A and B are shown apart, each in its own frame.
Chain A
Amino acid sequence: MSKKQYKKLTPEQQEYQIFAKDREPQRPIVKNCFKAFFVGGIICTIGQALQIVYIKYFDFTEKTAGSPTSATLIIISILLTGFGIYDDIAQWAGAGTAVPVTGFANTISSAAIEHRSEGYVLGVGGNMFKIAGPVIVYGVFSAFVVALIKIIIKELGVI
């Protein structure tokens, strides 16, 4: 809980936060980090292999091979999500599957599959970006702000 939230609590509530935290099974942070490192590393290595395949056999360059590589990893994640395997791997791997682009694809496909019961337009279409939405919104907005700042600095002749 954030410091701001903690300050809003009464003394009794603050005391309980500590009481409860003492009795909470600790998250195995170190173990989780190792697992995340391992799985994240593997996914990126697979990505590297895919990049080399695309450069060698499909006429992509080092600069342009990133796109088809991402697309391939995305399709694989969506298949694993559909078959119900992805969430089991992710429970073990944590950020190892969430941080690579595979996590992004999983948020979109899992939401799409889940909300089919509400129809294709409002259900699938309307809910697909439930979890991925913030990534796109903040990615675009921060890219926009950073670009503007860089342009202003350039125009002012500093760089």
Chain B
Amino acid sequence: MLKGHQTWVFESKPTIIASSAVGGPKEAAGALAEDFDVLHSDIWLGQDSFEKAERKFLEDACEKAIEKSGYKKEDIQFFLSGDLINQIVPSSFAARTLGIPYLGVFGACSSSMQGLALASMMIDGGFATKVLAAASSHNAAAEKQFRYPTEYGAQKPPTAQWTVTGAGAALVANEGQGPRVTSATIGRVIDLGISDPFNMGAAMAPAGVDTIKAHFRDLNIDPSYYDIIATGDLGAVGHRIAGDLLIEDGMDIPKEIFTDCGLLIYKEEQQVFAGASGCAASATVTYGHFLNRMRKGELKKILIVATGALLSPMSYQQKESIPCVAHAVSIEM
């Protein structure tokens, strides 16, 4: 049901009956390693290209989520997935393996929540009984496509972020036990002129803020409604900017509630500059860490605001700035 201008309220509260988080070596050494279902010791996974390896990470996450649900692939009606690679190839090829009717989504790093919002809408609207929503990213594949070859000696500035190598998947259903998706706010594309691909946080923060404000405006509630409000991957720079922008607009979200997936996933000593980024940042932290905490009873209501930078390697060369979007999904126990 539409509430306000751009928010969907899911009356039937679709349930996330299973979720999974898969990561690589850096995630295994990170702060949330316990909340990953599978942790791989290298980023190649026996494949001969980074892009093929990313597909394997995604297939792993999907298969794990399906396995944990107790259902079979054939029981799932639709598969929604997105990633950062050109033409979302890892997602399409994973869909080939899974054989489930497929809708590719692209929201850059906001793909995880974009997929979850659409999956929940399909369930709530009676258009499906089980939908699998997933997202992935791969550090080396992203660096190769957007920035420089991985062995290239370019000095990264302190605003740079580290793309997470991994994938997260959630199986949403119209029945069963688990955390339930209650609403989703679809974001507008916001571009405040940042054009530096090594400073995504500053580019994405305004989009995150716009969606957060829209969510609370549409639902007519207060940030204190939630136990956690987490942005996807704004990182240290973007998260601070977002916080300041919100305060300027009269919305002061308490520090205990307001956090960022990109800041949680790694440890300080892993030297990831401004923090983690990539579709898998919000996907693995939400589908692993946060949902685990909800299942344990530690959290009752969370809002995940995944932010994405909608640039391409070519748009940057053509001197375009970076338009961004953020999608928010609320999950309640």
Question: Measuring CB to CB, which residues of chain A are less than 8 angstroms from any residue of chain B?
Answer: 1, 5, 9-10, 12-14, 16-17, 19-20, 23-27, 32, 81-82, 84, 86-87, 89-91, 93-95, 97-98, 103, 106-107, 109-111, 113-115, 117-118, 130-131
Contact = CB atoms under 8 A, between A and B. Distances in A.
Given A5-B195, A14-B193, A24 B237 contact: yes
A24 B193 contact: no
Given A23-B240, A25-B237, A110-B149, A90 B155 contact: yes
A142 B151 CA distance: 29
14 contacts: A10-B193, A13-B191, A17-B192, A19-B241, A19-B244, A20-B194, A24-B237, A25-B158, A98-B155, A106-B153, A114-B144, A114-B149, A114-B151, A130-B149
Nearest to B152: A110
Contact of B193 (A16, A103, A110, A114): A16
A2 to B, nearest CB: 8
A97 B155 CA distance: 10
Given A10-B193, A81-B151, A114-B151, 11 more contacts: A20-B202, A27-B157, A32-B155, A84-B151, A87-B150, A87-B152, A95-B155, A103-B153, A110-B150, A111-B152, A113-B149
A108 to B, nearest CB: 10
Given A24-B159, A24-B237, A117-B49, A16 B151 contact: no
Interface of B: 48-51, 144, 148-159, 191-196, 199, 202, 205-206, 236-237, 240-241, 244-245, 274, 319, 321
A26 to B, nearest CB: 8
Interface residue SS majority, chain A: helix
Contacts of B151: 81-82, 84, 86-87, 106, 109-110, 113-114
A124 B154 CA distance: 20
A24 B150 contact: no
Contacts of A98: 153-155
Nearest to B48: A117
A86 B153 CA distance: 6
A124 B332 CA distance: 50
A10 to B, nearest CB: 8
Nearest to A94: B155
Kindly name the residue among B150, B153, B196, B206 whose own CB sees the greatest number of chain A CB atoms within 10 A. Answer: B153
A82 B321 CA distance: 34
Q: What are the 5 A-B residue pairs with the smallest beta carbon separation, nearest first?
A: A90-B153, A117-B49, A13-B193, A114-B149, A16-B192
A8 B325 CA distance: 22
A29 B192 CA distance: 26
A27 B157 CA distance: 7
B155 A25 contact: no
A1 to B, nearest CB: 6
B101 to A, nearest CB: 30
A112 to B, nearest CB: 9
A135 to B, nearest CB: 14
A16 B155 CA distance: 26
Contacts of A10: 193
B194 A90 contact: no
B223 to A, nearest CB: 21
A110 to B, nearest CB: 4
Contacts of A109: 151
Contacts of B199: 20, 24
Contacts of B202: 20, 23-24
A117 B319 CA distance: 29
B72 to A, nearest CB: 33
B287 to A, nearest CB: 29
Nearest to B196: A1
Nearest to A15: B192
